[in-house]
Structure 1
Amino acid sequence: MPHSDSPTRITVISASMGAGHDGAATELTRHLTAAGFLVDRHDFLDLLPARIGKLLSGAYLRLLTWAPAGYQRIYAATEHERRPNPAVRALLRGAERRTLATVTPDTRAVVSTYPGASQVLGALRLRGRLAIPALTYLTDFSVHSLWVAPGIDVHLAAHAIPAAQAHEQGAAGVTVTGPMTDPRFTPADEDERRAARTRFGLPPDAPLALLVAGSWGVGPVREAAAEILGSGVALPVVVCGRNHALAERLRADGIAHVHGWVDDMPGLMHACDVLVQNAGGLTSLEALAGGLPVVSYRCIPGHGRTNAAALDEAGLAPWIREPDQLAPTLTELLHGPRGRAQREAGLALFAAAPGPVPAVTTMARGPLSATALPSQRRPVAARPAVVSDVSGPPTRVPADRLAGVPSDAPRSVPVEALRLPVAARFAARSRQARRRTVLMVAAVAATLSLGAPLAYAYGGSPGHHFGALTHYLEDDDR
């Protein structure tokens, strides 16, 4: 436990891409604070250059909404890439200065719950600019290549399946810690169930299927709601998040129980009998902690489908791939032994491990280490990545990869620039800043796997279309 007179500080970096990354960061912050640490929270989207973060978030949402098939192609094409493409690297490098500024001198560890932040922290660590441990908490049940960042000391996973996927992609210090959710997500007894149904105006006795689609309300939610209702097995209770237009359409479709953003999700889960989800994120873990059986159906592309496959493989949530399997699967989960088995498996997941806080604590209390020089890095495939037992400390970066902290070389300034009048230099820099902003947004929209590489998705090559652009960005950032 940190000394009360000088508490240890930890930085947590998330991203407001939906609510899953932020939800994990919120719980991590709450648990670390309760353990006596000082915690600084930051949104990675605010650390990106030229206010691109919000544009990127909007582009991602529009891609999921308008071109889901394209996003699926993007995700599949980039799922196992060894490193981000040049445009993404250029963008992330632009966030390094602000990211480093979030780490105060008394900070002893920094934790990322978002892959872009992990890439930046890993790069800073490798170049010796970050001298404290950097950890990634994997918020997904499946692991895209962007989650695995060279330079990160420890990758924390909720289950052995994402841990194995991270290991296969060369992640360092993979540790199975178990999941972490708000403690309000607990199983409900019959009295709590009846009280919750009364609060939400739900029928007292009908089987209820809670249908969720994340904070953005994306995916074929209307189709799923209509099919649940048409199955006759359960009544759908739909949570649309902040998608008010979706809520109105569902009501017009005749769905009786439709909610927007719900502050009391533990209570709504207490009122329902099964969770139907399409993304496999934090809400699935919350339902498992609350003793609800979970099923994946009409999943969104990319991480929605890979998370569904991983949850199915883990025996935590069946993935319904065809509509004709919806009714029999819901029947088994609501009334058969399969439902009891799913509830027991979900609760066992939380009982088996303490969550990521002990691993973070171990790293924050440990001795500070220097970091590997780029020239001393091993190839990704050869880098050790051990899946450790949760009872032991997380695996550290091997000693043979450690070296002294290098100093940054000073930047040179062209002599011609010094001869320009002040006003001309200011105008030139303004034009350059505007041009860089436009190019950066275009590069991200075209190539970032979590943003919108539509050219890639529909047959083009990001390297072909944007190679000159990204080369310009990289040269200009040096």
Structure 2
Amino acid sequence: MPHSDSPTRITVISASMGAGHDGAARELTRHLTAAGFLVDRHDFLDLLPARIGKLLSGAYLRLLTWAPAGYQRIYAATEHERRPNPAVRALLRGAERRTLATVTPDTRAVVSTYPGASQVLGALRLRGRLAIPALTYLTDFSVHSLWVAPGIDAHLAAHAIPAAQAHEQGAAGVTVTGPMTDPRFTPADEDERRAARTRFGLPQDTSLALLVAGSWGVGPVREAAAEILDTGVALPVVVCGRNHALAERLRADGIAHVHGWVDDMPGLMHACDALVQNAGGLTSLEALAGGLPVVSYRCIPGHGQTNAAALDEAGLAPWIREPDQLAPTLTELLHGPRGRAQREAGLALFTAAPGPVPAVTAMARGPLSAVRPGRQGSSTAVPAGTPDLPAAPIPSQRRPADALTGETVDALTAVTADAPRLPVSARFAAGSRRARRRTVLMVAAVAATLSLGIGAPLAYAYGESPGHHFGALTHYLEDDDR
């Protein structure tokens, strides 16, 4: 633990793209503070140049809502690309000065819970401008390539599956640390369950399926709610986050139990019997910590579907791909041995490894003199529970993806158109509109790339094939420009 007369400072950088990245940063901050560290927490969107962060967030949300099928294809096509689009790299470089300003002289480590921030920190490390360790805490169960940033000293994963994915893409210092959630997410006994149902106005003697869609309430939520209701297996209890319009539509559809933003999610989980989710983020981990069986259904594109696949592979949550499988799967989870097995597997995830805090503190307390130029990947993946990590050198190049050793595999798997010519004034106006349209398009593309905890790298795809990938998006943006 740091000396009381000279506390060690750690910087945590997240991003308010939905609530998952911020939730992980909040818990990391709380645990590090409890361990005696001083913690500075920053939103990466505020560090981007020209106050573009909020614009990116809004543009990404619109893209996810308007073109989900194309979004998924683009995500899959770029999932393993090694470098961001040049336009994205230029934008990220514009955040370097403000990012460095968050690191005070007494800071001993920087932790990112967001891929854009990790890319910036890694670049600063590679060029020697950041002289302290930089770590990435992977908040997803699947790892898109932008999560893996050259220059990052350690990549911390909740489970062996995301750890292996990160390692395959050349990540340095991959460590299976286990997940971390608010300690209020715990299994409920019968008395707590009944009290929670009374508090939320829910029926006492009916199976309840908690349907969540992130803080933005995105995806085919209405379809999922209606299909859960039609099974007769459970009543849907829907959380719409900040999507007030969705909540009103669900009530109009006849869904009786609809909530907006819920401050007491641990209590609501205590009241319910299973979680149905579509993104595979922090809420899924919270449910697992609370002893709820989790199922993935009607998942959003990009990381929603890759997370669902990873959770299914890990045996933590089945991914229902067809509606006719919803009723039998819910029945098994609520009333059969499959549900009991998944509850046990979910709870074991939190006892098999100590969480990311020991790995972060080991880096922060390491001697700065050990930080020197060297090769990325000088430290291999470390088994969960390892008390100390080596002080990592400043990396100079990415480790080959095939450097995964047999010992590392064991460690990772042990934890489970031409127009007529117009007058000059008209051509100028049209040109201005086209310029604005292109700007919005590029901003939207960058938004998607930087939103990888929730989305997909459209900017990269735009650079490769704008006509193919952006047809639907351009249609919507041009409609808005009229």
Which band: TM-score by shorter chain?
A: 0.7 to 0.9
CA distance in 2: counterparts of 1:202 and 1:210, whole angstroms = 12
CA distance in 1: counterparts of 2:212 and 2:38, whole angstroms = 34
Moved more, 415-424 or 71-80: 415-424
TM-score by length of structure 1 reads: 0.82
Moved more, 85-94 or 464-473: 464-473
Given the superposition, is the C-alpha separation of residues 97 and 202 from structure 1 closer, same or farther in structure 2, using an over 3 Å criterion?
Answer: same
TM-score by length of structure 2 reads: 0.82
The answer to whether structure 1 residue 469 and structure 2 residue 459 are counterparts is: no
CA distance in 1: counterparts of 2:409 and 2:203, whole angstroms = 66
CA distance in 2: counterparts of 1:419 and 1:158, whole angstroms = 59
**SS in structure 2 opposite 1:175?**
strand
Moved more, 447-456 or 99-108: 447-456
Given the superposition, is the C-alpha separation of residues 213 and 356 from structure 1 closer, same or farther in structure 2, using an over 3 Å criterion?
Answer: same
Does the CA contact (< 8 Å) of 1:309 and 1:319 recur in 2? yes
Question: Percent same amino acid among aligned pairs?
Answer: 94
Q: How many Å apart are 1:203 and its aligned residue?
A: 0.2
The answer to whether structure 1 residue 129 and structure 2 residue 129 are counterparts is: yes
Does the CA contact (< 8 Å) of 2:67 and 2:472 recur in 1? no
Does the CA contact (< 8 Å) of 1:11 and 1:40 recur in 2? yes
Q: Which residue of 1 aligns with 2:171?
A: 171
**SS in structure 2 opposite 1:12?**
strand
**SS in structure 1 opposite 2:350?**
helix
CA distance in 1: counterparts of 2:136 and 2:415, whole angstroms = 37
Does the CA contact (< 8 Å) of 2:207 and 2:234 recur in 1? yes
**SS in structure 2 opposite 1:418?**
coil
Moved more, 234-243 or 51-60: 51-60
Q: How many Å apart are 1:91 and its aligned residue?
A: 0.7
Cα deviation 1:418-453 (Å, max 9, x = unaligned): 999999999999999999988973762687674787
Cα deviation 1:163-187 (Å, max 9, x = unaligned): 0000000000000000000000000
Q: Which residue of 2 aligns with 1:357?
A: 357
Q: Which residue of 2 aligns with 1:393?
A: none
Does the CA contact (< 8 Å) of 2:126 and 2:395 recur in 1? yes
Does the CA contact (< 8 Å) of 2:276 and 2:297 recur in 1? yes
Cα deviation 1:244-303 (Å, max 9, x = unaligned): 000000000000000000000000000000000000000000000000000000000000
CA distance in 2: counterparts of 1:277 and 1:468, whole angstroms = 27
Moved more, 255-264 or 451-460: 451-460
Given the superposition, is the C-alpha separation of residues 301 and 411 from structure 1 closer, same or farther in structure 2, using an over 3 Å criterion?
Answer: closer
CA distance in 2: counterparts of 1:466 and 1:337, whole angstroms = 46
Does the CA contact (< 8 Å) of 2:433 and 2:481 recur in 1? no
Does the CA contact (< 8 Å) of 2:71 and 2:456 recur in 1? yes
Does the CA contact (< 8 Å) of 1:16 and 1:43 recur in 2? yes
Q: How many Å apart are 1:22 and its aligned residue?
A: 0.1
Q: Which residue of 2 aligns with 1:294?
A: 294
Q: How many Å apart are 1:368 and its aligned residue?
A: 1.5
Does the CA contact (< 8 Å) of 2:280 and 2:307 recur in 1? yes
CA distance in 1: counterparts of 2:422 and 2:415, whole angstroms = 12
Given the superposition, is the C-alpha separation of residues 193 and 457 from structure 1 closer, same or farther in structure 2, using an over 3 Å criterion?
Answer: same
The answer to whether structure 1 residue 374 and structure 2 residue 378 are counterparts is: no
Does the CA contact (< 8 Å) of 2:446 and 2:459 recur in 1? no
Q: How many Å apart are 1:70 and its aligned residue?
A: 1.9
CA distance in 1: counterparts of 2:116 and 2:476, whole angstroms = 21
Given the superposition, is the C-alpha separation of residues 322 and 106 from structure 1 closer, same or farther in structure 2, using an over 3 Å criterion?
Answer: same
Q: How many Å apart are 1:461 and its aligned residue?
A: 1.4
CA distance in 2: counterparts of 1:149 and 1:3, whole angstroms = 32
Cα deviation 1:35-78 (Å, max 9, x = unaligned): 00000000000000111111111111111111111211221121
Moved more, 106-115 or 447-456: 447-456
How many residues get paired? 457
Does the CA contact (< 8 Å) of 1:94 and 1:477 recur in 2? no
Does the CA contact (< 8 Å) of 2:150 and 2:397 recur in 1? no
Given the superposition, is the C-alpha separation of residues 419 and 250 from structure 1 closer, same or farther in structure 2, using an over 3 Å criterion?
Answer: closer
Does the CA contact (< 8 Å) of 1:208 and 1:274 recur in 2? yes
Given the superposition, is the C-alpha separation of residues 36 and 413 from structure 1 closer, same or farther in structure 2, using an over 3 Å criterion?
Answer: closer
Does the CA contact (< 8 Å) of 1:131 and 1:369 recur in 2? no
Does the CA contact (< 8 Å) of 2:13 and 2:110 recur in 1? yes
Moved more, 350-359 or 420-429: 420-429
Cα deviation 1:176-199 (Å, max 9, x = unaligned): 000000000000000000000000
Cα deviation 1:111-130 (Å, max 9, x = unaligned): 00000000000000000000
Given the superposition, is the C-alpha separation of residues 45 and 445 from structure 1 closer, same or farther in structure 2, using an over 3 Å criterion?
Answer: closer
Given the superposition, is the C-alpha separation of residues 17 and 341 from structure 1 closer, same or farther in structure 2, using an over 3 Å criterion?
Answer: same
Cα deviation 1:325-379 (Å, max 9, x = unaligned): 0000000000000000000000000010110000000000001257xx887666x
Does the CA contact (< 8 Å) of 2:9 and 2:108 recur in 1? yes
Does the CA contact (< 8 Å) of 2:229 and 2:235 recur in 1? yes
Q: Which residue of 2 aligns with 1:186?
A: 186
Given the superposition, is the C-alpha separation of residues 256 and 366 from structure 1 closer, same or farther in structure 2, using an over 3 Å criterion?
Answer: same
CA distance in 2: counterparts of 1:219 and 1:415, whole angstroms = 34
Given the superposition, is the C-alpha separation of residues 178 and 452 from structure 1 closer, same or farther in structure 2, using an over 3 Å criterion?
Answer: closer
Q: Which residue of 1 aligns with 2:437?
A: 435
Q: How many Å apart are 1:103 and its aligned residue?
A: 0.3
Moved more, 439-448 or 201-210: 439-448
Given the superposition, is the C-alpha separation of residues 91 and 423 from structure 1 closer, same or farther in structure 2, using an over 3 Å criterion?
Answer: farther
CA distance in 2: counterparts of 1:471 and 1:412, whole angstroms = 49
Cα deviation 1:121-143 (Å, max 9, x = unaligned): 00000000000000000000000
Does the CA contact (< 8 Å) of 1:274 and 1:294 recur in 2? yes
Q: Which residue of 2 aligns with 1:17?
A: 17
Given the superposition, is the C-alpha separation of residues 402 and 460 from structure 1 closer, same or farther in structure 2, using an over 3 Å criterion?
Answer: closer
Q: Which residue of 1 aligns with 2:210?
A: 210
